[in-house]
Amino acid sequence: MALRSPVSAPGRTGRQFRIGVAITACAWLAAGCMEHPVRSEILLIAPELCALRDTTDGGTDDAGGLSYMFCIPDNALSRSQVARIDPSVRFDESPQGARICGSRRVLCVGSTRQPAFKAVLNRLAKLSYVHAITLYP
């Protein structure tokens, strides 16, 4: 039985395959806003957050700062760990938060308007239960 390459797979063009590989590579390299990912599985941090610069007085070069969000298990230990890492975080237990994260997880909203926010994002990315950090709408 001959094996087919992904490029020659039915319904998939070579261009689609290359785009898929490029997206996967970008997601892998963006993991944790670092050159090397912090975990073996893919963790997505919004590229807009990684592109921001930390300022010397704390926060970002964006005057108002940006808000980001992620989901964690809804228990005291997870909340405590996240609050120690990110002093800007608030836990959103609203119906909107439940829609985003599900019934057993809680939505966390943090801000880039804090000293060394990229270090905060990288520390959050190391938590095994944080799967994605995205911009808050």
- pLDDT tens-digit series, residues 81-106: 999 999 999 999 999 999 999 989 99
Which region among 15-29, 51-65, 67-81, 94-108 has the lowest average model confidence (pLDDT)? 15-29
Distance CA 89, CA 85 (A): 9
| Segment among 17-31, 61-75, 102-116 with least mean pLDDT | 17-31
> Do the beta carbons of residue 34 and residue 106 sit within 8 Å?
no
- Helix ranges, the chain (H): 14-30, 47-51, 76-85, 95-101, 117-125
What's the whole-model pTM score? 0.67
- Of the pLDDT bands very low, low, confident and very high (cuts 50, 70, 90), residue 80 is very high
pLDDT of 39 over the 70 cut = no
Whole-angstrom distance, CA of residue 33 vs CA of residue 117: 11
* pLDDT at position 96: 92
More confident residue, 4 or 136: 136
Q: The domain 43-135 is classified under which CATH number: 3.30.360.10, 3.30.70.260, 3.30.365.10, 3.40.50.1820?
A: 3.30.70.260
pLDDT at 33: 62
The tokens of 8 are what? 């020659």
For residue 69 the two structure tokens come to 């969000």
Domain ranges of the chain: 43-135
